Chain A
Amino acid sequence: MDARAPRRIVVGEADFDAPALQEALRAACAARAGAVAAFTGYVRDFAPGEPTSTLYLEHYPGMCERELAEIGDTALGRWDAAGYVIAHRYGALDLGERIVFVAVAAAHRGDAFRACEYIMDALKTRAPFWKRETLQDGRSFWVEARQSDFDRARQWEPDPPPSTENDNG
């Protein structure tokens, strides 16, 4: 990984300007960025048929930033990517608001797509955020982690270890 590669982590309560973050990444990577792949995640209904009213995201300050940077740096080391930006919000969010944004710049689209997808998949199972959903009728609950997210993250492991320990604490 190029030590001068543009790497940026934004963890905050306020909304972030995704297009500006993407453009800043592209500009910082200058001529090396033949491609920029970006992903934006928004608040949606989590329980089908039960309209979400608001979402609250709790986070672990410090570990969030560290974990996200480690995920991004792993992506830069694994693919031929020139730089990344990862933004994630916490606090109270309304339906349709941005939660997360990832952009990766690379010389070619394949590396940009794969690194961006890897970062999102790793983030879902590693970045210490927890969603609490409140429905329109006032009921409230912590969102359960989904097996499909773990399965997706596991697909990126270069050499899946035998499941001698299921690591559930």
Chain B
Amino acid sequence: MNMSNNKIKEKKESRRTFLKKTALASTFATLAACGSDTSWDEFFQKNFKTLENDDKNKIIERLEKKYTEKYGKKFTVSGKDPIDDTLFGYGLDISRCIGCRKCVYACVEENNQSRDPQIHWITVLEMAKDKGVDLFHSNSDYDRELVPDDDHFYFPVACQQCENPPCTKVCPVEATWKEKDGIVVVDYNWCIGCRLCMAACPYGARHFNWSEPDIPKDEVNPETHYYGNRPRYKGVVEKCTFCVQRVREGLYPSCVEICPVGARKFGNLLDPDSEIRYILKHKRVLVLKEELNTQPKFYYFY
């Protein structure tokens, strides 16, 4: 290769690096425009479950700061791990439930779901007494002055916290998994929003942030958990976590606390003296869509 060729090459090289730089810069500019308040650290954050405690704490600190600034309230984000020898189970007394949907809204407030568009983790189905538990003849949009209606019974559905969850298996990036205490969680910072888990869930328990979630500042709940009720992002999936921020501190999920007729029960399946074990032993229990072998830890009884 001769001199002139070399020079041409150099010139080309510099042009190429220039082009590369411009392309890179414009890509990041676009990303910045789309990701609104995404910081560098946040963008390059790894899957939370793969991180060491130090890194986890740094992320939690960053999030606490961010949420505190955004909502003008002192936020805490817990990263509390599962308690040993605990496997959470849920019981729902179909004969007691009156379909008042108090649980639905208590859940929204506790778990910081978006108000506009509305996201509900609990769906209450109204079922005709003469049809029995028949999803296709159920109605989730019932709107009555007075509940319960004489000809109907009510069947609330939320995440069934399956022992064999089809939703976690299909996730292409391991952004969702079952914790040791049986709760299926989502890393909202790792989810890519492909919604394969929503297709795979037989219970309609997974919900998507179709837009930037909207939570009024005065209603936001500042006591949060990383895998639970911390504010979510546009374009990620979320779901019921049995109020992970509460149950790992020894509290009941908020739907259990609010239920005016005591239809909702909760406890440790590994503790033989727990209320949930009593129900399993003494009541007529059914799980939803048993034939799919998802093995729910959400037991309907009557």
A and B bound?
no
